[in-house]
Structure 1
Amino acid sequence: MRSLISFKPAALASVLVALAGCQSLQSSDNFLGVVTPYRIEIVQGNVVTKEQAQAIKPGMTRAQVRDILGSPLLTDPFHADRWDYVFTIRRQGAEPQRRSIVVLFDGEVLKSIDPGGELPGEREFVASIDTFKTRRNAPALALTEEQVKALPLPVRPAAPEAAASAVGATRTYPPLEPR
């Protein structure tokens, strides 16, 4: 009987440890530090960068705005003069992002654009979603001055007089078909 009483707290403790372990497995991104579950990449809406927003000027037509920003994600039939550009991305290995840009029109003419905060530049956006940052140690694509000077000089072609003196065929070829 005494061993049964001492067994209950040990069993209770082991059950609590096991349940705590199950909770930590659900909240982590990997299983035992080895296996990472696949998470689908979700991209919705239009990417609007700082360069695109700077190209939009009051007085532009709806067609001009659509050419620069693309089609809006939301157009409300009750607010025909408002376009909403919403962008969300969830990518494994990168921070989730959400942006909402509101474009207001006065009839067919652009009245204002509200970017809803600081927009990233095109390069900044690509860097923020690039999950291969550590593997991309690409060499520079331009040569330095020292490297250009170290290159061998190109070989000059033969003088034009030597080429002009060779008249007629210099090689003879066998016939392609037997006679």
Structure 2
Amino acid sequence: MPSRFRRPACLLAAALAVSGCASLQSSDNIFGVITPYRVEVVQGNVVTKEQLALVKPGMTRAQVRDVLGSPLLTDAFHADRWDYVFTIRRQGAEPQLRRIVARFEGETLKSVDSNAELPEEREFVASIDTFKTSRKAPPLALTEEQVKALPVPEKPAAPAAEPIGPTRSYPPLEPAK
């Protein structure tokens, strides 16, 4: 290629590359088929309706920590406040943000406030299930008929009263005095 065409061709290729990069950044997919990978970000403690029902005013800090877990935020300037923040961003699911504030007077719980309605445990699992398939998981408990159909285990042989094999005599471990 002659040198007079080389420079404009390089400039044209660079301009196309830069414009292509800008268009990729503004859209979520390429040609409607390829979507970029997005990192799943999960932060904080999942606090469900069942867990919050177990927390009552008058509980100690240790009892609250046993039920809700360690708080995500504790402030040295506000020692009477624990913040439980939960966020999740998962591809294919709606992002979630929940805040729960536990306030203490000394070592006892005064109140618990939440910014949103907390889900039950099953609702939470369903909300983050991005597969949305009808997975037919086998039941965890057996029915009466299934228990009866199980083979009966063999009874172990009774241990012999006398040791089998030669008896050995060992010298004492400590010297006689």
The offset of 1:122, in angstroms, is 0.7
Are residues 94 and 27 of structure 1, via their aligned partners in 2, closer, same or farther at CA, if it must alter by over 3 Å? farther
Which protein has the bigger helix share?
A: 1
8 Å contact from structure 1 (residues 46, 72) kept in 2: yes
Q: Which amino acid aligns with 1:46?
A: N
Are residues 56 and 90 of structure 1, via their aligned partners in 2, closer, same or farther at CA, if it must alter by over 3 Å? same
8 Å contact from structure 1 (residues 53, 115) kept in 2: no
Unaligned runs of 5+ in 1: 1-18, 143-147, 158-179
Secondary structure, in 3 states, of the residue corresponding to 1:127?
Answer: helix
8 Å contact from structure 1 (residues 57, 110) kept in 2: yes
Aligned to 2:29: 30
Aligned to 1:63: 62
Q: How does 1:11-22 map to 2 (within 5 A)?
A: none
The offset of 1:74, in angstroms, is 0.5
Q: How does 1:10-159 map to 2 (within 5 A)?
A: 23=23, 25-134=24-133, 136-138=134-136, 141=139
Unaligned runs of 5+ in 2: 1-18, 153-177
Q: Which amino acid aligns with 1:52?
A: Q
Q: Quick one: distance in 2 between partners of 1:66 and 1:137?
A: 35
Q: Quick one: distance in 1 between partners of 2:71 and 2:53?
A: 17
Identity percentage of aligned residues: 70
Aligned to 2:162: none
Q: What's the RMSD between the two structures over aligned residues? A: 3.0
8 Å contact from structure 1 (residues 104, 110) kept in 2: yes
